[in-house]
Amino acid sequence: MKEIINTLNQRVANAEGDILRFFREIVAIPSMDSDIEEVGKRIGEEMRKLNYDEVYVDKYGSIVGKIGNGPKILLYDTHIDTVGIGDPDQWEWDPFEGKVEDGMLYARGALDEKNSTPGMVYGLAMARDLSLLEGFTCYILGNIEEWCDGVGCAAFHDWEGVHPDFVVIGEPTNMKVYRGHKGRIEMEITCKGKSAHAASNYMGDNAVYKMLPIIQAISEMEKDFEPHEFLGQGRVTVTRISSVSPSTNAVPDECTIFIDRRVTFGETKEYWRNALEAIIPESRKDDFEIRKLIYTEPSHTGAVYEYEQYFPAWALEENHPFVQASVKTLQALWSTGDPFGQGKWDFSTNGNYWTGKLGIPSIGFGPGNEIYAHAVNEHVPLKDVVEATKFYALLPAMIK
């Protein structure tokens, strides 16, 4: 093992320039609003340069690289779409070209989640060259995630017929092993009212006013949530409110709120629906509708995969063999410094599909601190982008 690691260290050092050049190039390609076509092409070019066995775009539009033909399937999951840039005036540098300062690349997508793509692409190629993939078929899935966690993964799983045995999620973990996170349920509540001229508002039934006690009740719910010992406190937020009115001078006859509910174990979609129904007055039940949400936006290929916007909580136990293999990989590569910790994300990832829905063991590993995701100062340490390559290369050899 020591000889393997020495060789791996040297190969990564030799490839550092190529890894960082590739990284800067894919970050510079905008991939907002789920449009990953161009960045996927660039990633595919790099995979072909590194002699992947297969490189293709799946039906949903994910870029797929495959190495090996063993019976066990290991999938590296890196979402290559990003959120938008928001107000351009808040950026002091080009959000895609970015800037390098104190060893950090500041750019949109540098952390979330193109951070892991170069290490995965180069790491699996190095693992092959060092004969570390015995018994494995390995995939890299560069997918769409930002607008609906898991949709690109589900399309790949169902349409391509690939069922992994293990999944590594490349979201930022500060170079630690993450083993779970809270889930999420997205729902809407709409209430109906009666329109009237604002000058004669007493003749109408204001749907916005009818919604106010529901919003207030939701805002007070968290005090009754029981925290999970690992996943932490569940959360609930009304994130959007809209109304329908014949004009700005009329009583609105419809009001809709969007609710983001972060859940721990036991807090299922059925449980949450019942909780929402309980805060609607019995006398007004007929005026309200609670709707589950289905994601139906087409990908850049035009394909539509209908995906319920329910994202279960998930976690592996600390002593799970896949978690332990991942920790041993860290210890083998970096045996000095801070103790090797495990952790969880505060936000949601594709893990709610792989483990939460399919039960496939998953861990997270990626460079950078998640707290900077989606921020104007989004950034990642370039050193860690390179170092992560070693983890992705060595991990398959640690899995029993």
Ramachandran region of residue 143, left (φ > 0), alpha (ψ -120 to 50) or beta?
beta
Beta strands in 150-204 (DSSP E): 166-169, 177-181, 183-192
CA distance 379 to 100: 9
Residue carrying the six token digits 């779409």: 81
Residue that is written with structure tokens 């060595």 in the block: 394
Beta bridge partners of 169: 77, 364
Neighbours of 83 (CB within 10 A): 16
Joined tokens for residue 129? 């060259």
Structure tokens at 88: 């351009």
Strand partners, 364: 169, 178
13: Cβ–Cβ under 8 A, 6 or more apart, which residues? none
As beta bridge partners, residue 258 has 188, 240
Q: Where are the beta strands (DSSP E) in the chain?
A: 54-57, 63-68, 72-79, 99-101, 104-106, 136-143, 166-169, 177-181, 183-192, 235-244, 254-263, 288-292, 294-295, 307-308, 310-311, 314-315, 342-345, 362-364, 379-381
Q: Pairing between strand 104-106 and 54-57?
A: unpaired
CA dist 114 and 58 (Å) reads 19
Cβ(121)–Cβ(46) below 8 Å: yes
Catalytic residue flag (residue 145): yes
Catalytic residue from among 145, 171, 378, 387: 145
Per annotation, catalytic residue among 81, 205, 378, 387: 81
> Contact 352/311 with Cβ under 8 angstroms?
yes
Q: Annotated catalytic, 33? A: no
User: Which residues are annotated as catalytic?
Assistant: 81, 145
